[in-house]
């Protein structure tokens, strides 16, 4: 008798196309739940700005003038009671935190004078409700959905040979700072999305035809508005991303010149939002108030140029998370930075003709932008400028380095893939544990079990330990699926513009 039973395969029920975004969303959501309200840098400022993002609203915000407003006291006073006190848990926020909307305070701590562009705060204001905890968690989940949804859509629109670039650049750049800042209420999360989205959207736009090209044009504009609408520096990064895409794809043809309309639109949107924010004035005037320490200019410049790379490594765990007071063990930044450096170095092996010029352009920005800000602020590395300001540039740099010609695939060995998955999973898992520990008990308590003697946690049926385990396993599973090759290689066929076919075989 013939055995007609078919071998079970989970792929019949859950396709990798669906599973990878789900695991990414679970990972970011776990990080969103890993810290309390007010845990991201300058969160008191951003929370007040969000509550006032739609102007004066009864029960939310009363704008008194161009420099101050009246908001719930919990947003400005109680939310950050643990900041700069690493041994203090979030229990200092007190019982009933976030439910006292009628207890208000007047403050100038907010975006009342237009320091930041208004788009981000206006959008986040839609999630404001009577409970601060629930409102902030909804914002964090919404930002996670936005990030995963955008890059999932971009994946399917990009030419097939560009998809590996997208997935790998995101993998090697988000641990741990990206995982913390993307599912937060800090506008830097939107800047990260823009840093990874504008360049690849424009690159794909120049390389495709038909409806796919229209879709990628829309993605480029959306990514520009998201980034430039959140931070002025993200607007400048969008212009840089457009310049890098033009360098890598330019051809002296009439058809290509017509396509320059899209980069021009990106530039106009970016410039308009950049000039709308007072944050842009920091480039020329510095970020430090007058009266700071006097430093000899030449010695200061030399110190900045020689040490600015510490900001790059800071994004991989060398600097603390949150208010920079959640210190991570060395294994995090050594693992994350080591993988980043190795993968980027391997990416430089591509033989694209104008790629070195684009790489040099972005690398110069990565070095000079923080150096100029620090010099004009009369500050040394470690003051004023933080790694989160540079994370969008770091992602852009990695993406440009990993771009390859069609036909030049990524072919790491099984051992290399195992090391990549293991190192990044270790770094992400350890970071998540330390981040939860920081707020549940303070870092004066040790041990692997986060549930023991917990002083603070959300009013949810999922324990701190469970959030850590789920978030860590989801990230490791996502890496395994991506590096398995199915996600990178599969997808719809793509039509590449004829004028660009010289860079590789035309896909139809």
CA distance 267 to 471: 38
pLDDT at position 169 is 96
Give the pLDDT band (50/70/90) at residue 405. Answer: confident
Choose between 66 and 437: higher pLDDT.
Answer: 437
pLDDT at position 498 is 42
Give the pLDDT band (50/70/90) at residue 281. Answer: low
pLDDT at position 78 is 84
Choose between 128 and 280: higher pLDDT.
Answer: 128
Give the pLDDT band (50/70/90) at residue 426. Answer: very high
Give the pLDDT band (50/70/90) at residue 350. Answer: confident
Average pLDDT on 54-65 reads 88
Whether 167 shows a pLDDT value over 80: the answer reads: yes
pTM for the whole thing? Answer: 0.91
Average pLDDT on 36-51 reads 95
Chain centroid offset of residue 201 CA: 17
The residues, ordered by sequence, that sit 6+ positions from 304 with a Cβ below 8 Å of its Cβ are: 370, 371, 374, 375, 380, 381
Mean predicted lDDT score pLDDT of the chain:
89
Whether 248 shows a pLDDT value over 60: the answer reads: yes
Average pLDDT on 122-129 reads 96
Give the pLDDT band (50/70/90) at residue 98. Answer: confident
Average pLDDT on 268-288 reads 72
Window from 91-105, 145-159, 254-268, 336-350 with minimum mean pLDDT: 91-105
pLDDT at position 58 is 84
Q: Does residue 119 contact residue 108 with C-beta atoms inside 8 Å? A: no
Peptide bond preceding 176 in cis form (omega within 30 of 0): yes
pLDDT at position 131 is 93
Q: How many residues does the chain have?
A: 508
CA distance 22 to 48: 31
pLDDT at position 490 is 39
State pLDDT tens for residues 294-336: 788 999 999 999 999 999 999 999 999 999 999 999 999 999 9
Tokens of 170: 């995101």
pLDDT at position 424 is 98
Query: In this prediction, what percent of the chain has a pLDDT beyond 70?
Result: 88
pLDDT at position 284 is 47
Whether 207 shows a pLDDT value over 50: the answer reads: yes
State pLDDT tens for residues 463-501: 999 999 999 999 999 999 988 754 444 333 444 444 343
Average pLDDT on 131-142 reads 96
Give the 3-state secondary structure of residue 332.
helix
């Amino acid at each position: 008798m013939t055995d007609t039973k078919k071998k079970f395969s989970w792929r019949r029920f859950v396709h990798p196309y669906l599973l990878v975004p789900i695991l990414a969303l679970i990972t970011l959501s776990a990080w969103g739940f890993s810290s309390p309200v007010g845990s991201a840098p300058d969160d008191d400022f951003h929370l007040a700005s969000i509550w006032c993002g739609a102007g004066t609203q009864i029960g939310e915000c009363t704008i008194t003038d161009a420099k101050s407003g009246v908001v719930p006291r919990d947003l400005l006073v109680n939310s950050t009671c643990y900041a700069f006190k690493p041994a203090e848990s979030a229990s200092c926020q007190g019982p009933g935190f976030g439910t006292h909307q009628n207890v208000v305070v007047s403050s100038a701590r907010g975006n009342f004078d237009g320091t930041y562009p208004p788009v981000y705060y206006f959008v986040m204001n839609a999630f404001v409700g009577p409970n601060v905890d629930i409102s902030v968690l909804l914002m964090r989940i919404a930002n996670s959905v936005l990030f995963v949804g955008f890059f999932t859509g971009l994946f399917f629109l990009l030419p097939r040979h560009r998809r590996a670039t997208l997935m790998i650049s995101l993998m090697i750049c988000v641990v741990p700072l990206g995982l913390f800042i993307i599912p937060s209420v800090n506008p830097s999360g939107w800047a990260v999305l823009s840093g990874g989205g504008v360049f690849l959207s424009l690159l794909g736009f120049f390389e495709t035809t038909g409806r796919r090209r229209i879709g990628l044009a829309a993605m480029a504009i959306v990514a520009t508005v998201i980034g430039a609408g959140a931070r002025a520096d993200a607007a400048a990064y969008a212009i840089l991303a457009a310049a890098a895409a033009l360098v890598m794809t330019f051809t002296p043809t009439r058809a290509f010149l017509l396509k320059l309309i899209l980069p021009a639109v990106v530039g106009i949107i970016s410039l308009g939002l950049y000039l709308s924010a007072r944050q842009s004035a920091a480039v020329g005037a510095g970020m430090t108030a007058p009266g700071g320490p006097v430093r000899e200019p030449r010695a200061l410049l030399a110190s900045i140029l020689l040490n600015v790379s510490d900001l790059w490594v800071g994004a991989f765990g060398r600097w603390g998370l949150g208010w920079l007071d959640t210190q991570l063990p060395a294994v995090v930044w050594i693992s994350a930075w080591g993988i980043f450096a190795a993968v980027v170095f391997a990416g430089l092996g591509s033989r694209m003709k104008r790629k070195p010029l684009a790489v040099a352009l972005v690398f110069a920005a990565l070095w000079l932008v923080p150096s100029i800000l620090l010099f004009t602020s009369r500050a040394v590395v470690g003051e004023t400028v933080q790694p989160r300001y540079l994370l969008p540039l770091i992602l852009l740099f990695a993406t440009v380095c990993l771009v390859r010609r069609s036909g030049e695939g990524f072919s790491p060995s099984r051992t290399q893939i195992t090391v990549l998955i293991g190192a990044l999973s270790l770094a992400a898992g350890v970071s998540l544990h330390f981040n939860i520990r920081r707020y549940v008990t303070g870092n004066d308590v040790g041990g692997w079990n986060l549930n023991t003697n917990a002083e603070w946690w959300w009013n949810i049926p999922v324990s701190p330990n469970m959030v850590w385990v789920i978030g860590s396993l989801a990230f490791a599973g996502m890496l395994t699926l991506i590096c398995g090759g199915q996600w990178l290689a599969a997808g719809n066929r793509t039509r590449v513009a004829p004028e660009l076919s010289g860079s590789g075989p035309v896909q139809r």
